[in-house]
């Protein structure tokens, strides 16, 4: 059995966390991941609080296992979303795009475990002092908003700097990646792009197919001047973003230009005019299958690799 401290912390069977992806990390996906032994996450994104409450209730109808909510702290509804999470007493909260420090005491008082996504050692240390329970150390290989450090470099440095469990994110899609993360000192992995290409994910079929068609060089980074760089599949929109950045337009104009583009790509399937969030791992994903099959294959492959590595040392 592949079991780590993160499994004990969250009461899950396997050390596999689903990323809280905006628009597509809905109840159906979160429940499927939790039912398959991982930790499903409902992505609040920039949604209104009533939508999140509905998704939490729908998730509970589909699973009796632990699941979490990802809160985007720059969302205009962040405060209301936090109130919903506290009222509903979800098991776990993951946070991104902001400092969750001011909210941690309220989460802890409600019995909610807190696992922020961090992209630097400094932030991890600060949040450890604030009382979080674990970390997601996310490298720049990931889809969506990214930091500046690769997963290979970031994860061991965060692991060495804190005393709490660390989950690795950014560039994971199979059992090889899970084993590599464990070797780096992480207690598990978080995956986003791999779960987009699952049957339970509501992402548009054309968006899923774009990921399946991707190569190792299909993603680009845009929006760097805004302070919130994003990794997505290259298309007409990303080229327009880069042209605007080079021309010296204001940050406000760049951000206004991006409004609504993520939903346009992920949900409506506009492959040229929408943002197609995807990690560099896209080139490794070749099929769409049920969440249960994805998780079972990853765990089986990881266990086989660990057995093979033990054989190299003559360990029975």
306 occurs within a structural domain: no
276 occurs within a structural domain: no
If one counts the domains in the chain, the total is 1
Q: What are phi and psi of 266, to 5 degrees?
A: -75, -40
**CATH code of the domain in which 36 resides:** 3.20.20.70
118 occurs within a structural domain: yes
Range of the domain at 68: 5-202
279 occurs within a structural domain: no
Among candidate residues 58, 74, 64, the one with its CA nearest the CA of residue 25: 58
290 occurs within a structural domain: no
DSSP labels for 227-285? T--EEEE--HHHHHHHHHHHHT--HHHHHHHHTTHHHHHHTT--TTTS--B--GGGGG-
* pTM of the complete model: 0.92
Would you give per-residue pLDDT tens digits along the chain (316 residues)?
689 999 999 999 999 999 999 899 999 999 999 999 999 999 998 888 999 999 999 999 999 999 999 998 888 888 899 999 999 999 999 998 878 888 899 999 999 999 999 999 999 999 999 999 999 999 999 998 888 999 999 999 999 999 999 999 999 999 999 999 999 999 999 999 999 999 999 999 999 999 999 999 999 998 888 888 899 999 999 999 888 888 888 888 888 887 889 999 999 999 999 999 999 999 999 999 999 999 999 999 999 999 998 877 765 5
103 occurs within a structural domain: yes
137 occurs within a structural domain: yes
216 occurs within a structural domain: no
């Amino acid at each position: 059995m592949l079991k780590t401290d993160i499994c004990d912390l969250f009461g899950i069977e396997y050390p596999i966390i689903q990323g809280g992806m905006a628009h597509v990390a809905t109840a159906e996906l979160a429940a499927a991941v939790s039912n398959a032994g991982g930790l499903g996450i409902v992505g609040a994104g920039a949604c209104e609080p009533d939508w999140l409450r509905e998704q939490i209730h729908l998730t509970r109808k589909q699973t009796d296992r632990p699941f979490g909510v990802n809160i985007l702290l720059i969302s205009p509804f962040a405060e209301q979303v936090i109130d919903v999470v506290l009222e509903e007493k979800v098991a776990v909260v993951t946070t991104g795009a902001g400092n969750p420090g001011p909210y941690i005491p309220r989460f802890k008082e409600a019995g909610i475990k807190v696992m922020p996504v961090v992209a630097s050692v400094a932030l991890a240390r600060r949040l450890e002092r604030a009382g979080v329970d674990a970390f997601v150390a996310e490298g720049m290989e990931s889809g969506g908003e990214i930091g500046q450090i690769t997963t290979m470099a970031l994860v061991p440095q965060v692991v060495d700097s804190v005393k709490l469990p660390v989950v690795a994110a950014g560039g994971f899609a199979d059992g090889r990646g899970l084993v590599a993360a464990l070797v780096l000192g992480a207690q598990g992995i978080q995956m986003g792009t791999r779960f987009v290409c699952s049957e339970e994910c509501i992402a548009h079929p054309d968006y899923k197919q774009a990921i399946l068609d991707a190569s190792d060089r299909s993603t680009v980074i845009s929006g760097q001047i805004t302070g919130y760089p994003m990794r997505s599949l290259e298309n007409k929109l990303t080229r327009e973003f880069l042209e605007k950045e080079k021309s010296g337009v204001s940050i406000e104009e760049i951000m206004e230009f991006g409004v609504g583009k993520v939903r346009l790509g992920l949900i409506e399937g506009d492959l040229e005019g929408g943002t197609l969030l995807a990690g560099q791992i896209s080139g490794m994903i070749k099929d769409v299958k049920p969440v249960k099959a994805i998780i079972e294959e990853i765990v089986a492959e990881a266990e086989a690799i660990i057995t093979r590595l033990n054989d190299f040392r003559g360990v029975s």
